[in-house]
Chain A
Amino acid sequence: MSLSRQRRFVTPGPDETVEELARRAMPDQPLEGAVDAIKSWNLHVFVMRRPPGLMLGSDVIFVEPPLAHA
């Protein structure tokens, strides 16, 4: 049985900033847009967390929007 496709994610590297993560995960995108997109796809880190934007090594950071599912 093959795995169905799931939403793509990465985990942050040690001391990695969101800009560095965006450059790594979305190298073909303009940096500013990639950062904004990552922030909008990961409200659990960039909005709901205290302090907002504190990325942890164990975090799941989505690098694409939610997929449509049946």
Chain B
Amino acid sequence: MFDVIVKNGVVVDGSGSPGYRGDVAIKDGKIAAVGQVSGEARTIVDAGGRVIAPGFIDPHTHFDVQLLWDGAARPALEHGITCVVPGNCSLSLAPLKIADRQRLIGMFQQIEEMPPEAFTTAFEWTWEDFAGYREALEKDLSINVAPLVGHSVIRLWVMGPAAQERAATDAEIRAMQDLLRECLEAGAVGLSTSFVDVDENGRPVPSRFAQFEELDALCAVLGEFGRMLQCVPEFYATDITLARIDQLAELSLKHDIPTTFSPLFDTLAAPENAERAIARVEEQFARGARVWPQMQTRPIDISFSLLRPSLFFARLPRWVRILRQPLVDRLAALRHPETVAKMVADLGPDGGEAMMGRLVARGGDACPADLVGQSLSQIAKARGQAPALALIELSLENGLDVSFLSASAGHQSTDRIGPMLAHPLVHIGASDGGAHLSSFSTYGDTGYLFSEFVRKAGAMTMEQAVAKITSETADIWGLKDRGRLQPGLAADIVVFDPDSIDRGEERPAFDMPGDGMRYVRDATGIDTVLVNGQIAYAKGEYTSARAGVVCI
């Protein structure tokens, strides 16, 4: 007697091989049989001719905190994701001393655009060490989690405030090694670091103060376990990205570890960037190094209103400072003529036409209906104002609740992105799931992979796309029990319709702690999702199953 049989489907087993008619049987959370399965089961899932595939794995997320009140990482799970990797970009919720919590919250707020209330109101923060975080996570998981530990928090633990001031001493590096080893033994899938991020005060994050020798010493510990180093490089600058690839390759070869960087960034403004990076990755792989570039599937569309800070203004420090103030102070600043004049002047002599003119009023908020869909350039011209001034005044006239969309800031060419995603050395990831809440939806990239790059562009077959986000991801990360429909492996399974799997329209949702808003995308074409053999999502509803684990 099996526990579950998913029957009457097209088995796409994650290997990239063509699908075939068949069933998948499950016993004790594991796959027990694949093919033409006979026998009985307590539960039958009729796939109805749809695809039966391994659950998708998302290797670049920031669900660290959301998982503590939402063990399904909604809406990731309903998109077919059965395993997420949080703790990217040098930031994780452990190990962290109580005294450093506020400092870390500030970093998450600045870098990942998450409201501080998400860290202070939605769960009880009971741990300091990584094992304690794991225990808190595992209480209520519907999805699997392979957490990274952040270099910045390891530095903070050992060095305190000096982590953001100076290089580490030899003794401090040894202490960091010991701490990293403890985290890996407690279930961390690897270490993340950042070469680009700053905290809420504009100060570089702790990992950026590390000498290469410190990173090398930490990678020696990763080598004891064969685990991953993830980093975020200066992806907007080609030569620096190439230098980072070489550094990662050196660490990979020396310590026999996999490394990954995210994102691999493509923009028509610098079309050679991604191509040169891939060429360098090919050279390094030929030497035996493992340097996996992560590329996201979706175009980069950024939405914002003046209700919240946004990465759209990242290059305008005055705007960032003003928009980060409490609402009362922010309104006062935006109503102050001299301040506004300085803000407009920050945009240069064109008043913001180049940077802001192509913004489009999104609608669905307090924006006057007749302006929805118009560009800010059109709106400004009609008002006889500079675009930056029109943005501020239109926002003030409507309680700041006017959202603008900056569309296609990168990754906008399907013809360019498709072949790169299909490249055997390009790792599909970089979703940023759970972060950048009010800037864009970080959910639905897998649906978009099938709708845009399989069905529309034909850049890869459906089976290749499944392999990219299942077995290949599991192999890259060393997740030995996942990523394939194979007897003995964990029964993480998604049943989907290959003709309709997609992401829905981006829409605001008001389900977060604090000021509560984030952009999400609903799933289309996903029928059933099983995590470790239990049905976690079916027919549009989440179930009460809590079979997720911390996995490595």
Which A residues have a C-beta under 8 Å from some C-beta of B? 1, 3-4, 6-7, 9, 11, 13-15, 44, 50, 54, 56-60, 62, 66, 69
Q: Is B272 an interface residue (CB 8 A)?
A: yes
Which one of B195, B212, B214, B243 contacts A6 once the chains associate, using CB atoms below 8 Å?
B243
B211 contacts A3, CB within 8 Å? no
Q: Is B2 an interface residue (CB 8 A)?
A: no
A60 contacts B240, CB within 8 Å? yes
Q: Is B88 an interface residue (CB 8 A)?
A: no
Q: Is B287 an interface residue (CB 8 A)?
A: yes
A60 contacts B204, CB within 8 Å? no
Known A13-B211, A15-B167; judge A60-B243 contact (CB<8 A).
yes
Query: How far apart are B186's CB and chain A's nearest CB, in angstroms?
Result: 26
Q: Which residue of B lies closest to A11 (CB)?
A: B212
Binding site secondary structure of chain B: helix
> 12 more A-B contacts (CB under 8 A) besides A57-B210, A58-B212?
A1-B283, A3-B284, A6-B242, A6-B246, A14-B167, A15-B167, A44-B240, A57-B212, A60-B243, A62-B239, A66-B239, A69-B272
Q: Is B244 an interface residue (CB 8 A)?
A: yes
Contacts of B209 in A (CB 8 A): 56-58
Contacts of A15 in B (CB 8 A): 166-167
B207 contacts A58, CB within 8 Å? yes
CA distance A49 to B287 in the complex (A): 35
Q: Is B1 an interface residue (CB 8 A)?
A: no
B166 contacts A14, CB within 8 Å? yes
A50 contacts B166, CB within 8 Å? no
CA distance A14 to B243 in the complex (A): 20
Query: How far apart are A12's CB and chain B's nearest CB, in angstroms?
Result: 8
Contacts of A44 in B (CB 8 A): 234, 237, 240
Contacts of A4 in B (CB 8 A): 280, 283
Contact with A along B14-45 (1 / 0, CB 8 A): 00000000000000000000000000000000
Query: How far apart are B455's CB and chain A's nearest CB, in angstroms?
Result: 35
B246 contacts A56, CB within 8 Å? no
Contacts of A11 in B (CB 8 A): 211-212
Contacts of A60 in B (CB 8 A): 195, 234, 240, 243-244
Q: Is B276 an interface residue (CB 8 A)?
A: yes
A58 contacts B195, CB within 8 Å? yes
Contacts of A56 in B (CB 8 A): 204, 208-209
Contacts of A6 in B (CB 8 A): 239, 242-243, 246, 280
Q: List 7 A-B contacts (CB under 8 A).
A: A1-B283, A1-B286, A13-B211, A14-B167, A15-B166, A50-B202, A58-B215
Contact with A along B507-524 (1 / 0, CB 8 A): 000000000000000000
Q: Which residue of A lies closest to B242 (CB)?
A: A6
Contacts of B234 in A (CB 8 A): 44, 60
B167 contacts A7, CB within 8 Å? no
Query: How far apart are A62's CB and chain B's nearest CB, in angstroms?
Result: 7
CA distance A7 to B244 in the complex (A): 12
Contact with A along B245-275 (1 / 0, CB 8 A): 0100000000000000000000000001000
Q: Is B317 an interface residue (CB 8 A)?
A: yes
Contacts of B242 in A (CB 8 A): 6-7
CA distance A62 to B195 in the complex (A): 15
CB neighbors of A among B201-224 (8 A): 202, 204, 207-212, 214-215
Contacts of B246 in A (CB 8 A): 6
Question: What 9 A-B pairs are tightest by C-beta distance, nearest first?
Answer: A1-B286, A14-B167, A57-B211, A60-B243, A56-B208, A58-B208, A11-B212, A9-B243, A57-B167
Query: How far apart are A49's CB and chain B's nearest CB, in angstroms?
Result: 9
Which one of B166, B210, B239, B284 contacts A7 once the chains associate, using CB atoms below 8 Å?
B239
Query: How far apart are A45's CB and chain B's nearest CB, in angstroms?
Result: 10
Q: Which residue of B lies closest to A62 (CB)?
A: B239
Contacts of B280 in A (CB 8 A): 4, 6
CA distance A50 to B203 in the complex (A): 8
CA distance A9 to B202 in the complex (A): 25
Q: Which residue of A lies closest to B276 (CB)?
A: A69
